[in-house]
């Protein structure tokens, strides 16, 4: 057998790469991992974690206002962006260290350099060194897409948003997906004037229609503006701010433009095609069910494969890869019933088929729902209503999908997703005694 420097060389120290490297090393492999930015990757450094901490920070705006209705004498409170930003970044730094320590203690050699593929078993490091490995794992994630319009360089992406010097007064967010809706909520709560601009009239495609509509209605009531069916023409500097022109409506003057129009697989300049690795039209590494690419010795996991761009999925793919290739314990990721959530204000979450997907697939379906005002909102004089919806197969009442919007929806859905994944029916929920008083009890009282 050929003698390689490593059994495994992982390119990319994010959710998928770190898990794969750590587990492969625990299985006895000699592993190195290259990371060009910071160990932890998108989720830890500039994604899920700092985003969720900002969501927590932003929520205090409503909590402080509501506290008065609960008898608290809350003085006029001022918000200080640098304090929140710096505390969040300090936590990110701590996690970066924790991930580094975990890899070190599992004997994974960390190379803090950009790496590219130089052949089926060869990796070239930015410093010029070339190393060999029996297996190469591509775990380079995805990169924010920036539209090809004049002046796009004046905008920022989620990569930069966590480092803003000041809280912008007027924010324009391009896109209608996860990041756009999450940051619309964050900026709005923190006091910015927010306009979300989307090229279609649909937000959060893939989520249940009623739940999406409810978020749109609540967001508009809160004061977030939506401009649909708009395409950018150009972005120009204008005084201290930016002037944004569109194809179909009046220009907008804003202080910040945030692009949140999707994330493309991060494969540019990686040397993959030269090594014989097939990429699809979007640049994603084409892989089989075991995450193996068209080259036998090269695998890929996570966002770079453009299967499902979520951290728990990247982690599972990394774990399955390491167990299968280095642990003699082959298994495959099951993509059926992956729960997901949008940490908007309020958050929404879903698992399984939406009502329209279920109707398309099964014809007749039964829909049970609860449209209610959470007790806390009633006392706080807050009009926002929550919506829970269960989509079932008409004949058997087997649950095909569960969708919700309201306070703590992601926390509640994670537990309920177990039942949906297990293939339970509506009766299993009906047979369960309510836990009162809670919002989650609505799940066992759906009509
Ligand atoms: C703002 C935001 C919020 C998000 N929120 C959530 C959420 O709430 N829940 C959720 O499940 N998902 C969320 N995601 C998605 C989640 O972050 C990704 O799905 C996940 O990080 C993918 O993991 P990965 O290992 O594939 O790639 P990544 O975590 O992106 O890691 C790839 C790593 O590779 C490095 N790299 C790239 N090229 C090279 C190279 N040539 N050499 C060396 N290193 C390289 C990069 O620097 C990066 O660190 C969010 C994403 C964003 C942007
Ligand atoms: N809570 C979470 O789990 C979470 C949070 C953030 C991001 N993510 C992951 O990261 C990925 C990327 O997030 P995202 O919000 O950037 O993408 P997205 O795919 O969720 O949404 C992209 C949006 O941009 C719009 N769009 C596309 N091209 C456009 C253009 N040229 N001009 C204007 N609008 C355009 C689309 O219509 C869509 O509404 C998500 O798909 C998701 O998998 C997950």
Atom 16, ligand 2: residue with shortest CA distance: 262
Same-domain status, 209 and 234: yes
| pLDDT digits 0-9 by tens, 18-70 | 999 999 999 999 999 999 999 999 999 999 999 999 999 999 999 999 999 99
Q: Which ligand is the nearest neighbour of the Cα of 42?
A: 1
**Averaged pLDDT, 344-361:** 98
The domain that holds 421 is classified in CATH as 3.30.390.30
Q: Tell me the sheet residues that pair with 396.
A: none
421 known ligand binder: no
| pLDDT digits 0-9 by tens, 288-323 | 999 999 999 999 999 999 999 999 999 999 999 999
pTM (two decimals): 0.98
Same-domain status, 137 and 161: no
Separation of CA 71 and ligand 1 centre (Å): 43
pLDDT band at residue 229, thresholds of 50, 70 and 90? very high
Strands 6-11 and 31-34, sheet pairing: parallel
274 known ligand binder: no
Same-domain status, 268 and 224: no
Please check the confidence at residue 150 and state whether its pLDDT lies above 80.
Answer: yes
- Ligand 1, pocket-test mutation among 13, 179, 311, most atoms within 8 A of CB: 311
What pLDDT, on the 0 to 100 scale, is given for residue 308?
Answer: 98
Separation of CA 416 and ligand 2 centre (Å): 25
Nearest-atom index, ligand 2, CA of 311: 3
Q: Which ligand is the nearest neighbour of the Cα of 310?
A: 1
| pLDDT digits 0-9 by tens, 366-376 | 999 999 999 99
What pLDDT, on the 0 to 100 scale, is given for residue 331?
Answer: 98
Instruction: Tell me which of 238, 261, 284 is where a domain ends.
Output: 261
Atom 3, ligand 1: residue with shortest CA distance: 47
Quote the Cα angle for 176-65-79, to 5°. Answer: 70
Contacts for 163 with CB less than 8 Å, ≥ 6 apart = 85, 89
Q: Which structural domain, as residue segments, surrounds residue 289? A: 6-144+264-326
pLDDT band at residue 1, thresholds of 50, 70 and 90? low
- Give residue 427's region: left, alpha or beta (phi > 0; psi -120 to 50): alpha
CA 281 to chain CA centroid, Å, is: 22
- Ligand 1, pocket-test mutation among 43, 55, 185, 260, most atoms within 8 A of CB: 43
- Ligand 2, pocket-test mutation among 54, 141, 162, 177, most atoms within 8 A of CB: 177
What pLDDT, on the 0 to 100 scale, is given for residue 25?
Answer: 98
| pLDDT digits 0-9 by tens, 242-257 | 999 999 889 999 999 9
The helix, strand and coil proportions of the chain, stated in percent and rounded to the nearest 5, come to 35, 25, 40
The closest of 287, 279, 282 to 263, measured between CA atoms, is 282
Domains contained in the chain, number: 3
In a domain, 43, yes or no: yes
Please check the confidence at residue 2 and state whether its pLDDT lies above 70.
Answer: no
What pLDDT, on the 0 to 100 scale, is given for residue 248?
Answer: 84
**Is the Cβ–Cβ distance between 394 and 364 less than 8 Å?**
yes
**Averaged pLDDT, 128-147:** 98
Same-domain status, 44 and 132: yes
- Whether cis (ω within 30° of 0) applies to the bond prior to 66 is no
Q: Which ligand is the nearest neighbour of the Cα of 161?
A: 1
**Is the Cβ–Cβ distance between 315 and 141 less than 8 Å?**
no
Same-domain status, 271 and 208: no
Instruction: Tell me which of 235, 261, 287 is where a domain ends.
Output: 261
| pLDDT digits 0-9 by tens, 169-178 | 999 999 999 9
What pLDDT, on the 0 to 100 scale, is given for residue 139?
Answer: 99
Atom 29, ligand 2: residue with shortest CA distance: 261
- 310 CB less than 6 Å from ligand 2? yes
The mean pLDDT of the chain is: 97
Separation of CA 134 and ligand 2 centre (Å): 36
440 known ligand binder: no
178 known ligand binder: yes
Atom 42, ligand 1: residue with shortest CA distance: 114
Residue numbers annotated as active site: 436
| pLDDT digits 0-9 by tens, 270-287 | 999 999 999 999 999 999
Strands 170-174 and 256-259, sheet pairing: parallel
**440 secondary structure, DSSP code:** G
| pLDDT digits 0-9 by tens, 67-92 | 999 999 999 999 999 999 999 999 99
The domain that holds 284 is classified in CATH as 3.50.50.60
Same-domain status, 281 and 354: no
**Averaged pLDDT, 394-406:** 98
**Averaged pLDDT, 201-207:** 96
**Averaged pLDDT, 186-197:** 98
Query: What is the spatial distance between Cα 295 and Cα 277, in angstroms, rounded to a whole number?
Result: 6
Please check the confidence at residue 385 and state whether its pLDDT lies above 90.
Answer: yes
Same-domain status, 188 and 296: no
175 known ligand binder: yes
Provide the ipTM: 0.98
What pLDDT, on the 0 to 100 scale, is given for residue 428?
Answer: 98
Query: Which protein residues touch ligand 1 with a CB less than 6 Å away?
Result: 11-17, 34-37, 41-43, 47-48, 51, 114-116, 139-141, 158, 179, 266, 270, 302-304, 309-312, 314
């Amino acid at each position: 057998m050929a003698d390689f420097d490593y059994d495994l060389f992982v390119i990319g120290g994010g959710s998928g790469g770190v898990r794969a490297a750590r587990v492969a090393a625990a299985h006895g492999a000699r592993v190195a991992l290259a990371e060009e930015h910071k160990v932890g990757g998108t989720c830890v450094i500039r994604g899920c974690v700092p985003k969720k901490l900002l969501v927590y920070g932003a929520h205090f705006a409503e909590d402080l206002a509501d506290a008065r209705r609960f008898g608290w004498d809350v003085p006029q409170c001022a918000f200080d962006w640098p304090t929140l930003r710096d505390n969040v970044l300090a936590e990110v730094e701590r996690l970066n260290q924790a991930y580094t320590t975990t890899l070190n203690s599992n004997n994974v050699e960390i190379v803090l350099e950009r790496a590219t593929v130089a052949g089926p078993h060869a990796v070239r490091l930015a410093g010029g060194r070339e190393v060999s490995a029996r297996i190469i794992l591509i775990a380079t994630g995805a990169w924010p897409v920036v539209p090809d319009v004049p002046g796009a360089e004046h905008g920022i992406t989620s990569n930069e948003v966590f480092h803003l010097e000041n809280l912008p007064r007027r924010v324009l967010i391009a896109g209608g997906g996860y990041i756009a809706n999450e940051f619309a909520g964050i900026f709005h709560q923190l006091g910015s004037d927010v306009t979300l601009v989307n090229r279609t009239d649909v937000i959060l495609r893939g989520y249940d229609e009623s739940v999406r509509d409810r978020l749109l209605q609540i967001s508009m009531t809160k004061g977030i503006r939506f401009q649909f069916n708009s395409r950018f023409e150009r972005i120009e500097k204008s005084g201290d701010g930016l002037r944004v022109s569109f194809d179909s409506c009046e220009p907008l003057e804003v202080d910040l433009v945030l692009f949140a129009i999707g994330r493309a697989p991060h494969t540019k300049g990686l040397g993959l095609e030269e090594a014989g690795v097939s990429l699809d039209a979007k640049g994603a590494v084409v892989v089989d069910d075991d995450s193996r690419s068209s080259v036998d010795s090269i695998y890929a996991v996570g966002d770079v494969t453009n299967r499902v761009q979520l951290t728990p999925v990247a982690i599972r793919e990394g774990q399955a890869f390491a167990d299968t290739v280095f642990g003699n314990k082959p298994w495959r990721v099951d993509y059926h019933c992956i729960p997901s959530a949008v940490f908007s204000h309020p958050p929404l979450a879903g698992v399984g088929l939406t009502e329209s997907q279920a109707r398309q697939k099964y014809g007749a379906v039964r829909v049970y729902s609860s449209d209610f005002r959470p007790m806390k909102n009633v006392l706080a004089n807050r009009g926002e209503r929550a919506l829970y919806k269960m989509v079932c197969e008409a004949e058997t009442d087997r649950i095909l999908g569960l969708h919700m919007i309201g306070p703590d929806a992601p926390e509640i859905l994670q537990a309920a997703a177990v039942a949906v994944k297990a293939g339970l029916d509506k009766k299993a929920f009906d047979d369960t005694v309510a836990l009162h008083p809670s919002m989650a009890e609505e799940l066992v009282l759906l009509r």
